[in-house]
Structure formats: C-alpha cells, structure tokens
Structure 1
Amino acid sequence: MTWEMVDEGWGRKAVEFATLAEPANCREYLAMHQRLGIGEGDRLLDVACGAGLAIELAGIRGAVCAGIDASPRLVEVARDRNPDCDIRVGDMEALPWGDASFDVVTSFRGIWGTTPGAVDEARRVLVPSGRLAMTVWGNVGKSPGAWMMSPYLWATDEKVGHQAEMVSLGRPGVGEAFLDERGFDVAERFEVPFVFEFPDPETYARGLAATGPAYEAIQSIGEDEFIARATELATGQVREGRALRGQIQLFGYVGTKR
C-alpha cells in the first residue's frame, strides 16, 4: 500500500475518528510527553500525526510543533486544532524538512516494522542527540480489552496477517534492535497506559469504524454489518453506571540519535 492510499481508510470518517476514537489516546500522549520532559521551546515533529491531538497536547507544554500525515482529511482536522503549527500532508518515509530541524520526533503507533524508512527519516531531521519516541502495540490478544479490537479480525486473512506483521515491534527485543540498526541508542521498552472508553455500544461501534484497521474489515463485510456486529459485541460488555472500558497493552521506546 502506498502512503497516498492511507486516506481511504483513515480519512473517510476523520471527524468521527477525532471526536469519538482519538480522545482515548490522551493517556498515551501525556505519558510519553511526560517521559520526554517536553517543555518550552522544544522543536517537536509528530509523525503520522492523524487528527493532531498529540500535537495540541505537546503545544500546551510549550513545544513548537510540526506534524505530517498521509491523510489530507485528518490533516485538515489537525490544522484546525493547531492553527499555528506546520502540519503537512506527505510521506513519513520522505519528510519535507531539512536535516537537524527537530529536537524530538514522536510517533504514536504510526511507525511499524514495515516502515523502516520512516525511522531513517526521523533520524535525519533530528539534531545530534535528538530523541525519537514511539509507541507500538503489545500483546493485544491477551490484553483485558482485547474484545474491543476483535472486530479488526473480520478483515480477510491476508489483511489480518499484515496487521500482525506491522505490530511485530512490540515483541521483546524486536523494537530495540529495529531502532539500534538505524542509528539510535535505545533504552529498554516500557509499558504505556492505553485504555479505550466509550459511553455506549453504538458510540463504540461508530468510533471503531472510523479507524483504518476497521475499514479493512468493512471492505470484507460492509459498513452496516460491521456496525451491527460491533454494537452487538459491545452490548454484551455493558456495565450499569460505568463506561465501556478496555485496557490494551502498549509499549514505548525512546531512542537517542547517535
């Protein structure tokens, strides 16, 4: 899949993704910014920035932020949230910034084992001793909230297999080696808090349907069927007076440019 095709899945419901799905990522974004000690004047690039919530939160801490995403429709939302930031549509494996432009590069589940060129480009745009911070899924299937991501398995076997290949960086030692080979000194992986939360089954189904992996399942079974099945799945998890909630294992890495 070329980077131009990302908008087909991730951009088709950009506003629903930004308002129904992405807010659950706040714990992840805040935890990583805190670990990095993001502060006043730090030049930060967020790769695969999506709808720009991570950029907005880094900006609150005083960072001077830029971002890039392959989806024009998500970038439109990100720019609306961050009107003073340099947010561009483009390929994370061919960044449109010069060498040594940033102190920090972040990517929240945007860089995969299948995209090594994105790491090479992140290294290029970092200053000497600049840091790359990224998050990757851990063992989703054994996570307490695994049920919330099970609709992704309604895609074809080929696409499910590709999803598994993409998340390989969460395995012990794999992510560290991946970054080390590309010129980073890497600290040991660490767990990052991540929780999906939705008020009701219908909102869960709509929020999940706005994500890229869900679109692959929708291509197989159709959107109406996806929404119906996901709503039924979540209905069995309703707890009176409490949100639908599912914790998913997520890991982070921080590499320092050699």
Structure 2
Amino acid sequence: MSDWRGVDTGWGRRAVDFSTLSEPANCREYVTLHQHLAVGPGDRLLDIACGAGLAIELAALRGAVCAGIDASHRLVAVARDRSPDADVRVGDMHELPWPDGSFDVVTSFRGIWGTTPKAMTEVRRVLAPGGRVGLTVWGHLKVSPGAWALAPFRLAAEEKVSNQASMVALGRPGAGEELLAAYGFVDVRRIDVPFAWEFPDPETYARAIASTGPAFESIQNVGEAEFLASAAEMARAHQREGLPLRAEIAVVGYLARTPDPRSVNGEGSPPPRSST
C-alpha cells in the first residue's frame, strides 16, 4: 500500500474514541480559523485531512457548502455520519479528486506538515482565483504550558520522534510564510490560534490521546498497556481539585489567498479579518 493508505492503521484504529474524546477539544481552533477566513453562506469549502469531520460540521453551520478528504476510511465514516450532505472522500491530499478552481476556501487543521509541503500544489490548484486558504500547525511547543500532554508521543522509536520534530517545523517563525509564498499564495499572514485539551481525569486523557496517529507510533514501540499507564501517570501531576485537566498548547495559523487576475494588481484584496 502507498503511504497515505497506511495512515488509517494509526488514525483509524480508534476512530470513535478520537471523534468523541479528542477532537471536540479542537473546536476553539476550528472556530477561530473559520472566523478569520470569514467562512459564510455559499462558500465552497474543502477541509483537507478532515479526520472525523467536526470542522466540516461547524463550517456548514456558517452556511458553507462543504467537502473533505482524509486518508482514514474509518474517520471518513464518522465525518459522513456527522455531515451526510457533505462531499467527504477517502484519498490522498497530494492527488485531490476535484477539478481546478472547485473551492472558495481550503482549510487544513494540523493536517499539512513540514514533511508534506507538496500538498500545497493541490491546494492551489483546487482554489478559485482569489480563494482563501487557512492552515494550522503546532507552534512553540517547548514554551507551551500544556506541552506535558504531548510527552507520551516521545515513547515512540527514535526515528519516529525525529520525524515528529520535522513535521512540526512548519510552526517556526517564517516557515509557513515561506512555504505559502513558494507555492504562489499572496497576502500571507500568521495568527495565534487558541488551543486547549481538557479531560475529566488522567485515564480519559490517556484513552483520548491513544486514539491519535502519533500515539500509535508510541504504542508500536512500548505496547498499549504501557502507553496508557505512562500517559495517565504523567497527567496525574497536573490534576487540580475541582477543575478539569487542562493543557494549553501553542498553535499557529497561516492565512493567504490565491492571486486574482481580475483585480488591478493581480493579487486580490487582503484576507478577511475576524469581526472579533
């Protein structure tokens, strides 16, 4: 199987746990990017690496006509159940199955990484002239107060941990801006995006993160029982009386547009700004 088909092994194995225990915490991230992109009625929106489709569901509530693609057929099944009217497909983000100029907005929430930059070729292709793009990636993890919540991912084999570091490199200052400009996007800007995981107890936290792809790499190395036990033990140090476990982690967003030859200078107007 090609690499993208193998993604389901890690991300799809606990699709229900991911969609109910992990993904809901992403709502702050999804809503923030939709607001900055001014997603609204009639927008044709594609979400790349859409996972279980919560971002698609939220975009549709703003009036967008939505599509999505993910490499995990089990996560796509959840996305289709949540949004039966959306065009959600299983596939490779490097070979999008839609014609040129099909969308007004393309989003990807921590789905395009420093290790998959060529996906931006397809993003550019399927966006209409003047179309908007919004990406999020992990930011400065070392200074994030909730960085402890990502520590169990370091139980993976050394080469996997090294690859994780290459993936998040896109969050470094200037990296995202350079990538978008290199693929012909204009009006590029960087924003801070709120993100916080919240869980009722260490065991729920451990089960939630065990449903993710990076956790699967750790589970392959140390076994599921040891991963769950280690994750729960790490979380106990961060329990607070009468409050949920909370892990605030730096996430950054990149906003840009495709050039619009219909405008005076060929670059279109600046990306829409949030009303908040």
TM-score interval (norm. to shorter): over 0.9
Q: Secondary structure at the match of 1:116?
A: coil
Matching residue of 1:241: 242
- The answer on whether the counterparts of 2:46 and 2:106 sit within 8 Å (CA) in structure 1 is yes
Matching residue of 1:119: 120
Question: Structure 2 matches for 1:31-180, cutoff 5 A?
Answer: 31-180=32-181
Question: After the TM superposition, which of the residue ranges 114-123 and 73-82 deviates more from structure 2?
Answer: 114-123
Q: Which amino acid aligns with 1:143?
A: S
Matching residue of 2:262: none
Question: After the TM superposition, which of the residue ranges 164-173 and 87-96 deviates more from structure 2?
Answer: 164-173
Distance 2:120 2:16 in 1: 28
Distance 1:40 1:189 in 2: 25
Corresponding position: 1:200 with 2:201? yes
Q: Secondary structure at the match of 2:118?
A: helix
Residue 186 of structure 1 and its aligned partner are, at CA, apart by 4.0
Q: Which amino acid aligns with 1:148?
A: A
Question: Structure 2 matches for 1:179-194, cutoff 5 A?
Answer: 179-194=180-195
Question: After the TM superposition, which of the residue ranges 229-238 and 40-49 deviates more from structure 2?
Answer: 229-238
- Between the two proteins, what is the percent identity of the paired residues? 63
Residue 117 of structure 1 and its aligned partner are, at CA, apart by 2.2
1:174-200 Cα offsets, whole Å, 9 max, x none, are 110011000101432110000010011
1:96-137 Cα offsets, whole Å, 9 max, x none, are 000000000000000012112211101000000101110011
Distance 2:187 2:165 in 1: 23
Residue 37 of structure 1 and its aligned partner are, at CA, apart by 0.8
- The answer on whether the counterparts of 2:180 and 2:188 sit within 8 Å (CA) in structure 1 is no
1:125-181 Cα offsets, whole Å, 9 max, x none, are 000010111001111122000101100011111111100101111111111001100
- The answer on whether the counterparts of 1:70 and 1:90 sit within 8 Å (CA) in structure 2 is yes
Q: Which amino acid aligns with 1:183?
A: G
Q: Secondary structure at the match of 1:91?
A: coil
Residue 41 of structure 1 and its aligned partner are, at CA, apart by 0.7
Q: Secondary structure at the match of 1:254?
A: strand
Q: Secondary structure at the match of 1:40?
A: coil
Tell me which structure has the larger Cα radius of gyration. Answer: 2
Q: Secondary structure at the match of 1:169?
A: helix
Gaps of 5+ in 1: none
How does the TM-score come out when normalised to structure 2?
A: 0.92
How does the TM-score come out when normalised to structure 1?
A: 0.98
Q: Which amino acid aligns with 1:124?
A: R
Distance 2:63 2:182 in 1: 32
- The answer on whether the counterparts of 2:153 and 2:161 sit within 8 Å (CA) in structure 1 is yes
Q: Secondary structure at the match of 1:34?
A: helix
1:205-256 Cα offsets, whole Å, 9 max, x none, are 0001000000000011000110011111111211111000010000000111
- The answer on whether the counterparts of 1:179 and 1:186 sit within 8 Å (CA) in structure 2 is no
Distance 1:150 1:139 in 2: 14
Distance 1:141 1:206 in 2: 24
Distance 1:185 1:178 in 2: 11
Q: Secondary structure at the match of 2:247?
A: strand
Distance 1:209 1:6 in 2: 15
Matching residue of 1:20: 21
1:23-56 Cα offsets, whole Å, 9 max, x none, are 0100000000011111111000000000000000
Return structure 1 stretches of 4+ with deviation > 6 angstroms: none
Matching residue of 2:217: 216
- The answer on whether the counterparts of 1:108 and 1:134 sit within 8 Å (CA) in structure 2 is yes
Gaps of 5+ in 2: 260-276
Distance 2:140 2:63 in 1: 34
Question: Superposition RMSD on alpha carbons, in Å?
Answer: 0.8
Distance 1:221 1:186 in 2: 45
